[in-house]
C-alpha cells in the first residue's frame, strides 16, 4: 500500500509520474510529473481548460488516470486503495456544494459521520472556530453569503484532519475581505503542517501563499519557487532612465564589462542586460555620471508571477498558431 515501487518517492505527500487523462479523443492533461513535500503549499496555475480541476479530481480518486502513476498521502493511487486515500485527504471543490436546507452544523455533522471522526461534536466546533463561524452554526446554509459558504466548505475540508488538502479555486468569486480571510486560513493550515495543493487563477494569491508553483497548460510547463521561475524565464536587466537622451549610448554601454547588451526603452530610457544587477549598477552609475548624464533612476525591473505565467501561456498560444 505504500509508495515504494520505485516510480514514486516515498515520503512525499504527493508524488506524480507521467500522469495523464483522456476523455475519448480529448486530452485533459498528459505527462504530468511533480512532487509535493509534506507541509508544503503547492500552487497549480493554468488557464481555463488546462486540466487543473481534472488533476485534483484524479488525485482525489474521483477520476481514473489513463496513464502514469501517483502516490497520494503516501498511498499508491489504485482502484483498491481509493477508499484508503480518501481517509487521508480532503477536497474542497470550486463550488462549495453545501446542503442549503441544512444548517452549518448539520452539514458538518453529516460529513463528520462519513469520515467516522471520533468525537464529532468537538471536531465540528474546532472546524467552526478555525473558520470563525461558531456563531452561525445553526444558520441554514441557504441563508449564508457566498463568502460564508466558502468558509463552511473549508471547515468541512478540515473536519477529517487531512494530511493533504486539495483546494480548487478557493477564492473564486469572493470579495477582497472574504479572500483575505481564506488566505489567512491557508496560512494557519500551513503553520499546522498540512500539505496544501492549491489551484488558482489568482497569480498574486499563488505568489503570496505558495512555496512552489507549477504552471499547467495540458502539459506541465514549468515548476519551481516563484523567484526561481522569474530567473529562469527572464534575463537579468537594469532599467536606466536619464533626464535627456544620451549622446552615444552604444559606446558608453559597450565599454562596461558588466553589461552584456542593451536596448532603448523610450526616448531617455535604456534596458541593460547584465549577469549580476547588484554588481553592475554601481559601474553603470559611475559611467553615466562621468559621461555627464543626469541620472533619474537605475533599478532592477520586477517580474511578477503573472509575467511568468503570461509569458508561458503566450508561448503556447504562438506555438499552437504556428
Q: Which residues bind another protein (CB under 8 A)?
A: 23-24, 54, 57, 60-64, 83, 86-87, 89-93, 95-102, 106, 110-111, 113-116, 153, 156, 160
Planar angle of CA 77, 212, 16, nearest 5 degrees: 20
Q: How far is the CB of 38 from another protein (least distance, A)?
A: 20
Closest CB to another protein among 84 and 219? Answer: 84
Contacts of 249-256 spanning 24+ positions with Cβ under 8 A: 252/287, 252/288, 252/291, 253/284, 253/287, 255/287, 256/280, 256/283, 256/284, 256/287
- CA-based nearest residue to 166, from 206, 208, 194: 194
26-36, strands of its sheet edge to edge:
26-36, 14-23, 67-72, 75-76
Bridge partners, 213 (sequence order): 43, 224
Cβ at position 64, least distance to another protein in Å = 6
Q: Residue 289 has which C-alpha cell? A: 555620471
- Chain-centre distance of CA 253, in angstroms? 39
The sign one gets for the Cα dihedral 13, 19, 24, 27 is positive
CB of 95 to another protein, least distance (A): 4
When the beta carbons of 87 and 180 are compared against another protein, the nearer one is: 87
Residue with Cβ nearer another protein (57 or 136) = 57
State how far the Cα of 163 lies from the Cα of 184, in Å rounded to an integer. Answer: 19
Q: Which is nearer to another protein, 93 or 226 (CB)?
A: 93
Q: How far is the CB of 100 from another protein (least distance, A)?
A: 7
In the complex, minimum distance from the CB of residue 184 to another protein, in angstroms, rounded to a whole number: 22
Which CB atom, from 17 or from 86, has the smaller least distance to another protein?
Answer: 86
CA dihedral 152→156→161→165, nearest 10 degrees, is: -90
H-helix or E-strand spanning residue 15 = strand 14-23
User: Judged by CB, which is closer to another protein: 140, or 271?
Assistant: 140
Based on CB atoms, which residue is closest to another protein, 111 or 253?
111
Residue 183 C-alpha cell reads as: 488566505
DSSP 8-state class, residue 103: B
> At its nearest, how many Å lie between another protein and the CB of residue 96?
8
Q: How far apart are CA 37 and CA 156, in angstroms?
A: 24
Number of H helices, E strands in the chain: 11, 14
Q: Which three cell numbers stand for residue 22?
A: 483522456
Name the residue nearer to another protein (CB basis): 27 or 291: 27
CB of 152 to another protein, least distance (A): 11
Nearer to another protein by Cβ, of 58 and 217: the residue is 58
CB of 21 to another protein, least distance (A): 9
Longest pairwise C-alpha distance within the chain: 78
Smallest distance, another protein to C-beta of residue 263, A: 48
Amino acid at each position: 500500500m505504500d509508495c515504494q515501487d520505485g516510480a514514486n518517492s516515498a515520503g512525499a505527500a504527493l508524488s506524480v509520474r507521467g500522469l495523464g487523462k483522456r476523455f475519448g479523443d480529448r486530452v485533459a492533461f498528459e505527462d504530468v510529473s511533480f512532487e509535493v513535500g509534506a507541509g508544503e503549499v503547492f500552487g497549480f496555475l493554468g488557464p481555463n481548460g488546462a486540466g487543473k480541476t481534472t488533476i485534483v479530481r484524479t488525485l482525489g480518486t474521483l477520476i481514473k488516470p489513463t496513464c502514469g502513476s501517483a502516490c497520494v498521502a503516501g498511498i499508491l493511487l489504485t482502484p483498491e486503495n481509493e477508499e484508503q486515500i480518501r481517509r487521508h485527504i480532503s477536497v474542497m471543490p470550486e463550488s462549495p456544494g453545501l446542503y442549503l436546507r441544512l444548517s452549518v452544523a448539520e452539514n458538518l455533522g453529516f460529513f463528520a459521520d462519513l469520515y467516522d471522526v471520533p468525537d464529532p461534536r468537538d471536531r465540528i466546533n474546532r472546524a467552526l472556530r478555525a473558520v470563525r463561524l461558531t456563531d452561525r452554526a445553526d444558520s441554514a446554509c441557504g441563508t449564508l453569503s457566498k463568502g460564508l459558504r466558502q468558509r463552511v466548505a473549508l471547515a468541512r475540508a478540515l473536519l477529517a484532519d487531512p494530511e493533504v488538502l486539495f483546494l480548487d479555486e478557493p477564492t473564486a468569486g469572493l470579495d477582497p475581505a472574504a479572500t483575505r480571510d481564506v488566505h489567512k486560513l491557508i496560512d494557519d493550515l500551513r503553520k499546522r503542517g498540512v500539505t496544501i495543493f492549491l489551484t488558482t487563477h489568482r497569480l498574486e494569491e499563488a505568489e503570496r501563499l505558495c512555496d512552489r508553483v507549477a504552471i499547467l497548460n495540458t502539459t506541465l510547463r514549468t515548476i519551481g519557487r516563484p523567484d526561481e521561475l522569474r530567473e529562469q524565464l527572464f534575463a537579468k536587466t537594469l532599467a536606466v532612465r536619464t533626464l535627456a537622451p544620451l549622446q552615444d549610448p552604444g559606446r558608453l554601454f559597450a565599454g562596461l564589462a558588466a553589461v552584456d547588451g542593451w536596448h532603448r526603452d523610450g526616448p531617455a530610457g535604456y534596458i541593460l542586460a547584465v549577469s549580476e544587477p547588484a554588481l553592475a549598477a554601481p559601474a553603470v552609475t559611475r559611467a553615466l555620471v562621468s559621461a555627464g548624464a543626469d541620472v533619474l533612476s537605475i533599478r532592477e525591473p520586477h517580474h511578477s508571477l503573472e509575467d511568468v505565467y503570461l509569458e508561458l501561456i503566450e508561448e503556447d498560444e504562438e506555438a499552437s498558431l504556428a
